[in-house]
Amino acid sequence: MQSDNINELAKALVGAQAEFSAVPKGSVNPFFKSKYAALPDVVATAGPVLAKHGLAVSQFIGSDELITYLLHESGQFIAHTMTLHIIKDDPQAQGSAVTYARRYSYMACLGLVADDDDDANLATRPKAAAKPVLPDTHQMLKALLQKSHPDAADRKFYLEAKARRTLGGISDLTTDEVNSIITELQGA
């Protein structure tokens, strides 16, 4: 969705992109010993440049989506809708999904960079055939994950990194994967 014209917005965005620097990765994910650019770092990096060029980003949360607007002082705009993937029906999971979506959508609409590019390796790996896992084993994995990764988005990220593919949930893990992850979490 966008305004009828975006010529002024486009000109301003080109000017802003010429001044953007890479967003510093000032936050640490202790579970993966990796750094990432948190939302406040992204906003702090982009904010002054946006203001200088008459641009702003505004984000609105719907029941299952995030709408990000790139606005120009002329009234021209571009909007993008991103579906929120909430793993669990509680406020913490919703907050995690919103924060994650806000960060990625904000960076994408401005063309900002911070994350390493894996050339879509995780997203394009074939899905392993799921083997049945005993319900008690799933419960044990869930308990260990909630203890080690209280944030739902972190749990999902952790599991997908271990499985090296996108998962709909822990039921997508094979028996070998579940057992390996349980062993690792019990040893932590």
φ and ψ of 65, to 5 deg: -150, 160
d(CA 47, CA 19): 12
d(CA 79, CA 71): 9
- Whether residue 86 is predicted with pLDDT greater than 50 in this model: the reply is yes
Listed residue (17, 179, 11) closest to 108, CA to CA:
17
Average model confidence (pLDDT) across the chain: 81
Between residues 176 and 76, the one the model is more confident about: 76
φ and ψ of 76, to 5 deg: -75, 150
Average pLDDT over residues 77-106: 85
* DSSP annotation of 170: G
Give pLDDT, residue 139: 82
Structure-block tokens of residue 109: 């609409």
pLDDT per residue as tens digits for the range 128-171: 554 555 667 778 888 888 888 888 777 887 888 888 787 777 77
- Whether residue 109 is predicted with pLDDT greater than 80 in this model: the reply is yes
Is this structure's pTM higher than 0.85?
Answer: no
pLDDT per residue as tens digits for the range 1-59: 999 999 999 999 999 988 887 776 767 666 656 677 778 888 888 889 999 999 999 99
Alpha-carbon distances, residue 72 vs 51, 97, 143 (angstroms): 10, 27, 47
- Whether residue 121 is predicted with pLDDT greater than 60 in this model: the reply is no
Give pLDDT, residue 10: 95
pLDDT band for position 119 (50/70/90)? Answer: very low
Give pLDDT, residue 158: 81
d(CA 8, CA 11): 5
* Residues 52/16, Cβ–Cβ less than 8 Å: yes
pLDDT band for position 115 (50/70/90)? Answer: low
d(CA 137, CA 141): 6
